[in-house]
Amino acid sequence: MTEVGAFVLNFNGRVTMASVKNFQLVDSSDPTEQVLLQFGRVQKDKFTMDFSHPLSVFQAFSICLSSFGNSHKPHHIPPLHPLIVV
């Protein structure tokens, strides 16, 4: 926990705004805990998505898109700008 009273993830500068939709996915069986997928807000209606093997583009995008399905009211889903990390 930090001085903001919450857990903070290190997005290495790729995510610039706080959001409940920001997340990282890691393989807990990997001792290096490499981030396989990270998703986060960079502007009011823009998000960034970074992913790596073994996730496909479709899997990564689907996981990120599901983070918008937790609301009971319809809302605009902003376009994603994926960056493929190799």
Q: What is the pLDDT of residues 58-70, one digit of tens each?
A: 999 999 998 887 5
Model confidence pTM above 0.85: no
Helices (H), the chain: 57-66
- Residues sharing a CB contact under 8 Å with residue 49, sequence separation 6 or more, in sequence order: 37, 38, 39, 60, 61, 64, 80, 81, 82, 83
Amino acid, res. 27: D
**Residues 13-56: tens digit of each pLDDT:** 889 898 888 999 998 888 888 899 999 999 988 999 999 999 99
- Residues sharing a CB contact under 8 Å with residue 18, sequence separation 6 or more, in sequence order: 41
User: For residues 51 and 74, what is the distance between their CA atoms, to the nearest angstrom?
Assistant: 27
